A and B are shown apart, each in its own frame.
Chain A
Amino acid sequence: MADKAQPHVGEVIESSTAEFSAESRVLHGAAPFGSYVKIDSYPTIYAIVYNVSTQSIEPNRRPTAYGKTEDELRLEQPQIFELLRTEFTCLIIGYEDETGIYQNLPPHPPKIHNFVHFCSAEEIANFTDKAHYLRPIFSQARVPSDDLTIAAIRNAYHARGENGHYLVKAGKEVARLVKDDYDRLHSILERIHV
């Protein structure tokens, strides 16, 4: 994960209690699906990316096919890259203030135009220390919850220097969440594939 010296990855353009959308600073440069991001506000808000999309900046102008490679387009149709934007949507999973880390929704959502940063490996490790945060990810109907759970566990595992204890703890939490749906549990655990 990136360190703090890196510039922001996006800027909040839509915000509500449970989730927010951000415009990527660079076209096609969104925070990847399943990555941990934060808003440097008070309190610090933690979120996980669940959707990335790129589209025209103007609703009534649709991109059309040109039959050219990206490099050719950059040389001969340079304007089209100014007319597109990448957005990513994040599920809010918790926050942190001077009293500690909370795996529940913050009292206020991020402000519009707040910058979105990647979380550092240390921040991910601290935040995911308790695996309860997997529940809101797992139980959201509007997000691809199985895939998001897999990505969340895998990213947290890498952030901890590939610590096997964490995997076992996260696996147990998933087992609790799926209850008796063994096929689903099997599918998730197999696909964590570290």
Chain B
Amino acid sequence: MLDHIATKQQINLMVRDQRTVQRASGNKLERAFKEARRWTVDWQDLADKIARSKPAWLTAEIVEPVTLQRAKPERPAEITVIATDGSQLFPDRHEVAACYLINIGIIVFHYGTGERPILTSTPTLFYTEDQLFQEWNGKRIPVNADMVGILRGVMELEKLADLTSEIPQSTRKAVALSDGTLIDWTLEGKPDDFKNEMLSRTLAAFEQFEKEKVPVAGYISSSNSADVVNALRVGLCPEDHVPACESCPQRAHHPDFPPCTAIEGVYDRALFGRILKNPGERSVLFGSTSEILKEYGKHRIFFFYVNVGFEIARIEVPAWVAKDAEMMSLVHSVINDQVEKGKGYPIVLAEAHEKAVVRGGDRELFYQLLSETYVRGGVRSEISRKNISKRRLLI
């Protein structure tokens, strides 16, 4: 039981603290915007300084002047947009059986042609020993929620790549949208076998997109990334090249707030809220320097921000899309059109989510079917005492 009074007291405290933080971040945002403009002409100097620095933060690679905007391009009249999203039932050792389920929602919408759209979902049940356990440093560990989440992300991308075959051949243009980041950074620090398998499957999917010439983009709503702001922080550092920050020489003079902290805590989306004044505009491209991307090779991820009218969204694309002006224009126009159609969020992703989602009722039904089928199949099954006690409380 939740103690509402105790909770409310803590909510009051939280709101008071956040109000102070917001006021401070308003000033920081102005400073960040000024910094961005300061590098408009000499952006190459900033890029060079970043290249020779080793900051402790994830820093965007600057390849164009930070404050430039690109106007909204026209969407081709006929285009196919494909999307996937996933959801899962995590392994639950208190349930009838140790297994987990991943459900992938699949969307294919043809615009301007009147062809029938596809809205469907495919569930996959995982139950074999191989699927339930992973080797890690010679130990067998049960697959956890984290790993199921990563597997789900990879399956979303694979399914999306498979969908490229649903695009009518001929000259039809197409864009593939994925919900969330294309950077599998959560793979860092996972068991090697698992990490390698997930990486090679991710890269195989990217290969398929490239072969089919279908640009793929990850759409991130309310992103909390600060890669670009972090790049500007490198610019704020009075040192010629930012050394390893743990041994920051500036701390000798400013022990608590070295100069780079002047814009610390500002999100990229806030900064680009100032830069991208008109709905539809996008920012220039930036390279992501996430550690895991060293393994991505030619599919390294670039990103940009778009003022979609309702928010500043972060869009991620592989390098071969970033380098292709026509593909970039296609992605940019489709993102704007999709958000407009979905009144704030890409309609294909909203529908993919609807198809993928496994609600509480679905979960109950799943376990009910499971135990019934066990009984019919003559397999002994048992729900843990803990779970039974959750269902039947004593007074």
Contact = CB atoms under 8 A, between A and B. Distances in A.
Nearest to A61: B354
B112 A82 contact: no
Given A76-B341, A77-B341, A82 B114 contact: no
A75 interface: yes
B351 A76 contact: no
Q: Is the interface of A mostly helix, strand, loop or mixed?
A: helix
A75 B117 contact: no
A115 B341 CA distance: 36
A169 interface: no
Contacts of B111: 75-76, 78
Interface string A65-89: 0000000001111110011000000
A167 to B, nearest CB: 44
Size category of the A interface is: under 10
A74 B116 CA distance: 9
A77 B112 CA distance: 9
Interface in B105-163: 107, 109-117, 119
Nearest to A75: B112
Interface in A35-61: 58
Nearest to A78: B117
11 contacts: A75-B111, A75-B112, A75-B113, A75-B114, A76-B341, A77-B341, A78-B109, A78-B110, A78-B111, A82-B117, A83-B119
- Pick from B111, B113, B117, B341 the residue with the most CB of A within 10 Å: B117
A76 B114 CA distance: 8
Contacts of A79: 107, 109, 117, 119, 347, 351
B298 to A, nearest CB: 34
Nearest to B110: A78
A13 to B, nearest CB: 19
Contacts of A76: 111-112, 341
Contacts, number: 28
Contacts of A78: 109-111, 114-117
A148 B389 CA distance: 56
Contacts of A83: 119
Interface string B93-112: 00000000000000101111
B47 to A, nearest CB: 41
Contacts of B354: 58
Contacts of B116: 78, 82
B321 to A, nearest CB: 24
Interface of B: 107, 109-117, 119, 341, 347, 351, 354
A56 to B, nearest CB: 12
A50 B115 CA distance: 33
Given A75-B111, A76-B111, A79-B107, 11 more contacts: A74-B114, A75-B112, A75-B113, A76-B112, A77-B341, A78-B116, A79-B109, A79-B117, A79-B347, A82-B116, A82-B119
B231 to A, nearest CB: 39
Contacts of A74: 114
A79 B353 CA distance: 14
Contacts of B112: 75-76
A74 B119 CA distance: 15
B177 to A, nearest CB: 14
A82 B109 CA distance: 11
A78 B111 CA distance: 7
A78 B119 CA distance: 11
A82 B113 CA distance: 16
Closest 3 CB pairs of A and B: A78-B117, A74-B114, A79-B117
A29 to B, nearest CB: 15
Interface in A156-194: none
A74 B351 CA distance: 16
A65 B283 CA distance: 33
Contacts of B109: 78-79
A78 B341 CA distance: 11
A74 B111 CA distance: 8
A83 B116 CA distance: 12
A74 B354 CA distance: 20
Contacts of A82: 116-117, 119
A76 B14 CA distance: 44
A83 B350 CA distance: 13
A83 B351 CA distance: 10
Nearest to A83: B119
Nearest to A66: B341
B258 to A, nearest CB: 51
Contacts of A58: 354
B346 to A, nearest CB: 12
Nearest to B78: A75
Contacts of B117: 78-79, 82
Contacts of B113: 75
Nearest to A74: B114
A33 B115 CA distance: 30
- Pick from A77, A78, A82 the residue with the most CB of B within 10 Å: A78
A58 B354 CA distance: 10
A142 B119 CA distance: 37
Contacts of A77: 341, 347
Interface string A88-102: 000000000000000
A78 B115 CA distance: 8
Nearest to B107: A79
A82 B347 CA distance: 14
Nearest to B350: A79
